[in-house]
Amino acid sequence: MNARSDQPAPLSGFKKSLLIGPGDLNAFFGLVVDNMTQLVVMAAILVNVFQFPKELVYYKMIPGSAIGVFAGDLAYSIMAIRLARRTGRTDVTAMPLGIDTPSLFAFLFGVIGPAYVATGDPVLAWKISMAVVVIVGITKTFGAFLGPLIQRLVPRAALLGPIAGVALMLIAFLPMIKIFHAPLAGFLSLIVILCCIVGKVPFPFRIPAAFGAVALGVAVSYITRLFGIGTALPNLSEGLQKMTFVLPMPSLAFLEGLPYTVAYLPLALPFAIVVIIGGIDVSESAKAAGDAYETLPILLTSGLSTILVGLCGGVVQTTPYIGHPAYKDMGGRAGYTLGTALFIGLGGIFGYLGLMADLLPEAALAPILIFVGLEITAQTFRATPERHYKAVAFSFIPAIATLVLIQLNSLLANLGKHPSDLSGEMAVSFEMIVLIANGFIISSLLWGAALVMIIDQRLRRAAAFLGVAAGLSLFGIIHSPFPDGRLFWPWQIESTLPFLLAAGYGMMVVFLLLMAGRGKKRAED
């Protein structure tokens, strides 16, 4: 007789008890590459753009940030093992956690860099950033208790739609640029991923396909570089110089920066809210894939690991990643998050993350992220009723705006220009893209939820979602008119856009309520 699903079920054997399978190696590569890339990009921007001292970045900020990934992925590994024992299953996939990409760039260019410019003191700027991260973590921890309520109120299409938009527009598209930058290595790595992971054609000699894709891509990249094709070979001695032992320990150093955080919280706190919503989305995504994690522990882990980052000297927040369905499809269990926790944690302590990033070409790694994006998008449609497909597609629009905004900002920066230098129609178009993009996770959710309710002819509930959008737009939680996405009091800024947007949403609410009343009257007749 089978054990009851709500009782612990014995799992015999070392591998089963830890839920380690051959697919964990594929999943490990995907999750490690993503996290490693974030930390290396952070170091490059701080050192090369803002001229932070290398010692502060390599020996304080990176180790402190890596320790949050270590703690979060370790906690998610334990959750997967417990879920497996409770249900008697050995195919449970752990929830992935890592550095939050959107807030990484927001914190770099909206908090750390400006704090250094304002104070002229890199150590004080670092402590201000630590304090901001601690406050963000506390906000996420308390906000986690609202997660289950939101999950009950918001339809699945609205929860999964924003995640699919991010997956397709950001996770899949941006790495494709890296592939076209180095097509020989990139295309070869990509076809291995598409054939052997998407198409499920076994890679020769039973080698994990993700490993094979990276290995072939790296080999082709180095061979072509020897013949002068592509970028120069990495400087190994320079990478080795970055390696040193640093054990990050919690401290109260952030308290010195606490009085200065008021100027930066309007930018940082919306990203805490976005991660809370995103955490709810990925919990729903995991449930749709067959792993029913409780939302509250998932969100609490994100909040507490972010607090640990700030206490240990890190300057970024952690988030549950949206790739659970893709890692499950790769065959990942709990081993891949456990391996990621150890690799990233030890990499921060021993300093080999920078060396690894120097040695591994982006074009060989990018196809793994493309697969993650494709799998998440496909899973969203599989888990959503067909009548709600239009709502899912509708929720993609803010993510598209975010993609366009990232590319425009990059273009302007390379030209040495600022958005304020634009004029005429281009300036107006840029401003409208900023409006659509800012707070895109939340606006995507609200748009998708409203359209689901309209499709189901629950017009009053649709009006409620759009009413929430009207209120949030007044304070910049969504549709902030500022390029940095900061919050504001509507009466303290010169722009009338928040009032116009709120009024526009209000008109939609009134129309839906009138239509709902008309429908009720017709039913009575």
Cα separation, 409 vs 223, whole angstroms: 34
Cα separation, 462 vs 516, whole angstroms: 10
Cα separation, 419 vs 396, whole angstroms: 24
Residue 51: exposed, middle, or buried by beta-carbon count in 10 A (0-12, 13-18, 19+)? exposed
Cα separation, 404 vs 415, whole angstroms: 17
Residue type present at position 128: I
Bridging pattern class, strands 318-320 and 97-99: antiparallel
* pLDDT for 376: 77
Mean pLDDT by 10 residues, the chain (525 residues): 41 52 83 81 78 88 94 96 89 93 74 86 95 96 84 78 80 85 92 91 84 89 82 63 79 94 77 81 87 93 97 94 85 92 90 71 82 82 89 92 84 79 88 90 91 95 96 92 83 90 96 86 54
* pLDDT for 5: 40
* pLDDT for 390: 94
Q: In terms of Cα–Cα distance, which of 271, 169, 170, 262 is closest to 476?
A: 271
What pTM did the predictor assign? 0.71
* pLDDT for 236: 62
Q: What is the DSSP string of 380-408?
A: HHHTS-GGGHHHHHHTTHHHHHHHHHHHH
Q: Residue 324 is inside which H or E element, if any?
A: helix 324-329
Give start and end residues of each alpha helix (H) in 88-197.
101-107, 113-119, 122-143, 147-153, 156-166, 173-181, 183-193
Output the CA–CA distances (angstroms, integers) from residue 8 to 5, 16, 89, 101, 525, in the order listed. Answer: 8, 14, 10, 37, 56
β-strand partners of 98: 319
Delimit the domains of the chain by residue range: 22-383, 385-519
* pLDDT for 46: 86
Q: What angle do CA 398, 401, 404 make, to 5 degrees?
A: 155
SS3 string of 241-292? HCCCCCCCCCCCHHHHCHHHHHHCHHHHHHHHHHHHHHHHHHHHHHHHCCCC
Residue with the two structure tokens 């260019």: 109
Residues 6 or more apart from 435 whose CB is under 8 A from it?
Answer: 479, 480, 481, 497, 501
* pLDDT for 231: 65
